[in-house]
Structure 1
């Protein structure tokens, strides 16, 4: 590997926003820090500025209308390429213009690749590394096309979705590009392209139709894969998430039923308390009404007693006074018939009045006893009412301050879990749809290199010795990193992937897939360098140490191992003459801080660098 490319800087510009500028070390650069600060977007931006597909829209990009990348070529020096954030062609500047706006451009180059020409970004970059006029085979008939820098980009710029894929690090998994991807890897490992292949005769119309069907299926598959990419999570994560959601939903359902049962019990208690309280209040009201009536009766008794007492007293006066002519008939005393009863029998009236008084006194006494009993009952009921009000308040507090909020929170959590489960199931259905499309493609066409007469196919074959040497390079890297399951490494052509210590790389957990993908990517760089083969000379890796902070399980974790320490030590010592850009969540070991280019995104506007884009100032 002789001619190389190194990335000097990335810059985003807008008329009303502060420039977002980041520089890279010429050997090892590490960008790390808080989540949602633009680390992964930085990887996408590098790919976009080197001719990749449209840039993902994120809120932080608002206001930035163009982006620049400065690259240093060992052949052509330093150049800056400027491109609209919406895509399109490039303006070019000689030198690293960084964020300057008062510089004159040196012309334009195109975005679209054109065979053998350097007037486009792909051709310019391929020209630097002496791969401009190379060809790769694109199908089993031997038809070829010119190599594009996009064929190399996915082998050197690995985003966070690619680095954990279960498929080969060298294949996209797309039917129509599989042959070209195999041919590209062969070109990288051997330096020989497919320009010497003479295409076979045109196939029959039916085969053309099959090819059209295959391309249509592949387009559908690509659309579904793009949809899956937007999820940001893989099938295993979704299935694991669904399993956890089902457990959480079941747990919350039980909790919800328990809380509802407690609420029902308290509601019944409150209803009984209310019923008892109303009964007491009704009884107190009845007593109050009776006391009012009894007071009236008592007053009546007192009036009657006073009247009868007057009759008794006045009658007694008549009985005991001196004899005199009858005040009623005028008869003289001697002619009066005192032994006979008449309307003027005063003594009988006095006796009757006295008897009536005794009767009223007895009734008044009974009334007083009843009134006293009613007062005592009312006092007792008042005490009972205070107690029952306290009981009611206690139950009401339990319902309002404890049970009801807990029930509401649990219901909200339960609803969120159910909604999330629906989304996860919907996402998993997309994977099921992809499985059906892939099964249909395999049923109709099988492997792109198989089917039909083998004599009529042109297969991509890699030298056994080349694959052995390449595997040993990856094995050496894993040993240097002290990979926990290290062992013999060999390349399996059927899967286009490595078998490490008897286990296919893609069958490991996503954390170990990430670190072994990184080993494969760096292994390709080192193999090309050792054998003086063309290679861009740099790699960009997003989240290679995922197994440290987000493993899938106990068999996928690197916690407690020395791999992280030896990973950075190896890159510093073995890649001083090539550029490696690492994007990670966790910081590199403190002991290496002065031996690499470190950029930390803090997500704190008051401390250090906030993120890829500066925080917006609210005016």
Structure 2
């Protein structure tokens, strides 16, 4: 069938063998009926479907000798047409795209799916993803231990065998005898999408007792270690007295240390002042020495200038004197000499030289006085430097002595402080030991309940959730023309259906089967109408037990009046008509006998197993 679908549809269930003719049963959307004689292979089909989805190994009857693989064709919303194959001997499941009798490594889209949901990839994850489910965690118990939501957990709502169909135990059960937290969490998750992931797990009573005992043991070990550190020779009162003495000694030495530190600070400040003074004086001496050197250089310049000016003054004098003498060359008298010598400028220059010489001699005298004063100042400062240097040496010695005394005081203070800490540590150890002993006593008195429950845990369906599901169950029963059924509700106390005030388990096997089937179909309808995921297929084995003749209900007791009413209400016809009307979004495979009412299956897709070689199909293998 082409086109996309909203659910998983089982197209065919088959068995293949290397030398055997493939045997199969086809299915379509809506209702599919496999009916006929007993032991012809009807329930074998249900087991084969369960097996291909990771169920337990199927015992192949003698008719199946030569067959080695189960092959199921599926149409899925996302992957489209696929084929699943699994060996009759167990093991993994193999998938190929498209519908084929042969699934091997050469098949399109070939993949290996693990049968268990704890490995990946696996058939559980594939089916759940195709159905639109998210990963979820179910609560295993009231302590909120968790298990993974898987196809094998969900399968109870998809494939129902005859035993579970008529079982008096809760309709939520799979294999257990009583309803567990997982059963409750599963139905709540299917209806609401809320799983147990957010519930914080608590430890069991045994775990809490073990934790309590371990805590007592750990505290005892810690207490024993502390006892070894505590001197038993002195009491707490004696230790407190020793601590007070040690604290007083520490405080006394601290005051001494502070006083000596203050003395060090004063002497250190004095050393700094004297060092600064010494540096200032030495700087002044250096400046005076530099100035004296420069003044002495200036005095040498004055002397040189005086020598030069004295030469000029003497030369002018001689020139004037020689001007009145006979010519040294010709001997002519001054009045007979024909060259005239003007001595006016020479006289002026001589006079200027004398004036400059006088000025320089005055400045030289002043300079000599200044140099003498500078040398005298330097001598005084050199004397002061020696004095300050000596004073600083004395102060430094005093500082060194004070620092030695302070160091000694500090060592003594440190020792006294350590004695205080030793006493304080022992006091702390005694207090800690007392707290350990108190805690050991309190923990030992704790009583741990054997049954623990996670905080705020509410596993049951709420009244509104149960009521909404009950409405759909009632609608299904009305569509099947179930007698009565005016009051239908899901009881959270019974974890089962109550119809007209009567618990499902209190009815006969036939009614129990019908109500069980109604619950599973109603759940599918609820999920579709509420937009919740659901694979979209259901396999019901013997839901119409009330229609079987007496020889086929042997061991189950006579039909009850309610079961006879079901027969008179022609429920089977309405049952199949209603399921046939779901063909747009669901597939229901019904396995039944109908030996006494063959006409009821005629309008719908059906496969009959006769066990008569001369009449129709003998069974699944023939």
The bucket for the TM-score relative to the shorter chain is: 0.5 to 0.7
> How far is 1:506 from its partner?
1.2
Shift in Å, 1:138? 1.1
CA distance in 2, matches of 1:571, 1:62: 35
Residue in 1 aligned with 2:529?
530
Asked if 1:56 is matched to 2:59, the reply is yes
TM-score norm. by structure 2 comes to: 0.56
Give the match for residue 547 of structure 2.
548
User: Which residue is equivalent to 1:75?
Assistant: 78
Give the match's secondary structure for 2:33.
Answer: strand
Counterpart pick for 1:16 among 16, 19, 25: 19
Cα 1:468–1:589 shift into 2, 3 Å: farther
Sort the Cα spacing of 1:10 and 1:451 in 2 relative to 1 into closer, same or farther, 3 A: same
Distance in structure 2 (CA, Å) of the matches to 1:208 and 1:176: 28
The residue that corresponds to 1:342 in the other structure is none
- The 1:455–1:192 alpha-carbon spacing in structure 2 relative to 1, beyond 3 Å, is closer
Whole-angstrom distance in 2 between the partners of 1:564 and 1:96? 33
Q: Which residue does the alignment assign to 2:34?
A: 31
Q: 8 Å contact 1:491–1:499 — kept in the other structure?
A: yes
Secondary structure, aligned partner of 2:539 = strand
Secondary structure, counterpart of 1:151 in structure 2: helix
Partner of 1:466, secondary structure, is: helix
Alignment correspondent of 2:439 = none
**For 1:65, which of 64, 68, 76 is the aligned residue?**
68
Distance 1:586 1:207 in 2: 59
Residues 48 and 173 from structure 1, CA distance in 2 versus in 1: closer, same or farther, beyond 3 angstroms? closer
- Where does the alignment leave 5 or more consecutive residues of structure 1 unmatched? 210-449, 615-619
Q: By how many angstroms is 1:104 displaced? A: 2.4
Residue 603 of structure 1: how far off its partner (Å): 1.3
Alpha-carbon distance in structure 2 between the residues aligned to 1:99 and 1:21:
14
1:109 aligns with: 113
Equivalent residues of 1:481, 1:566 under 8 A apart: yes
- Where in structure 2 are the equivalents of 1:498-537 lying within 5 Å? 498-537=497-536
Native 8 Å contact 2:30 2:581 kept in 1: no
103 and 608 in structure 1: CA distance in 2 versus 1, 3 angstrom threshold: farther
Alpha-carbon distance in structure 2 between the residues aligned to 1:5 and 1:102: 24
Total equivalences in the alignment: 370
Contact 2:9 / 2:537 at 8 angstroms: preserved in 1? Answer: yes
Structure 2: unaligned runs, 5 residues or longer: 212-448
CA distance 1:146–1:586, shift in 2 (3 Å): same
CA contact (8 A) 1:488 1:501 kept: yes
Give distance in 1, aligned partners of 2:178 and 2:570.
41
Q: Which moved more, 1:196-205 or 1:506-515?
A: 196-205
Q: CA deviation at 1:469?
A: 0.9
Deviation at 1:565, TM superposition (A): 1.4
- Among candidates 146, 152, 155, match of residue 154 of structure 2: 152
Max Rg structure: 2
Q: 1:165 aligns with which of 164, 167, 174?
A: 167
Q: 1:561 to 1:202 in 2, by over 3 A?
A: closer
Q: CA, structure 1 residues 139+208, in 2 after alignment: closer, same or farther (shift >3 Å)?
A: farther
Q: Return the alpha-carbon distance in structure 1 between the equivalents of residues 178 and 141 of structure 2.
A: 8
SS where residue 599 of structure 1 aligns?
strand
Where does residue 609 of structure 1 map in the other structure?
A: 617
Distance in 1, matches of 2:191 and 2:545, equals 28
Distance in 1 of aligned mates of 2:112 and 2:199: 35
State whether residues 3 and 534 of structure 1, in contact with CA within 8 Å, keep that contact through their aligned partners in structure 2. no
Using the alignment, how far apart are the partners of 1:531 and 1:132 within structure 2? 16
Residues 1:593 and 2:597 are matched in the alignment: no
Larger mean CA deviation between 102-111 and 17-26 belongs to: 102-111
Q: Which deviates more, 565-574 or 510-519?
A: 565-574
1:572 counterpart residue number? 580
* Matched residue, 1:47: 50
Q: Deviations over 1:334-382 (max 9, x none)?
A: xxxxxxxxxxxxxxxxxxxxxxxxxxxxxxxxxxxxxxxxxxxxxxxxx
Q: CA deviation at 1:144?
A: 1.4
User: Which SS does the other structure have where 2:475 is aligned?
Assistant: helix
Q: Do the aligned partners of 2:199 and 2:454 also contact (CA within 8 Å) in 1?
A: no
Supply the distance in 2 between the matched residues of 1:34 and 1:577 (Cα, whole angstroms): 30
Q: Which residue of 2 aligns with 1:488?
A: 487
State the Cα distance separating 1:585 from its structure 2 match.
0.5
Aligned to 1:425: none
Deviations 1:594-613 (Å, cap 9, x if unpaired)? 4x321111212233211111
* Cα separation, 1, equivalents of 2:177 and 2:39: 34
Aligned to 1:581: 589
The residue that corresponds to 2:8 in the other structure is 5
**Larger deviation, residues 574-583 vs 186-195:** 574-583
2:81/2:97 contact within 8 Å kept: yes
**1:408-557 alignment runs, 5 A limit:** 452=451, 458-549=457-548, 550=553, 552-555=558-561, 556-557=563-564
Give the Å deviation of 1:43.
0.8
Out of 123, 129, 149, the position equivalent to 1:121 is 123
Alignment partners' CA distance in 1, 2:505 and 2:131: 31
Measure, in 2, the Cα distance between the counterparts of 1:60 and 1:522.
Answer: 33
* Secondary structure class of the residue paired with 1:31: strand
CA contact (8 A) 2:609 2:618 kept: yes
Q: Distance in 2 between matches of 1:69 and 1:208?
A: 51
> What whole-Å deviation, never above 9, does each CA across 1:145-202 have from its counterpart, x for those lacking one?
2111011111110111110101122113626982212111111111122111221246
Number of the residue aligned with 1:194: 196
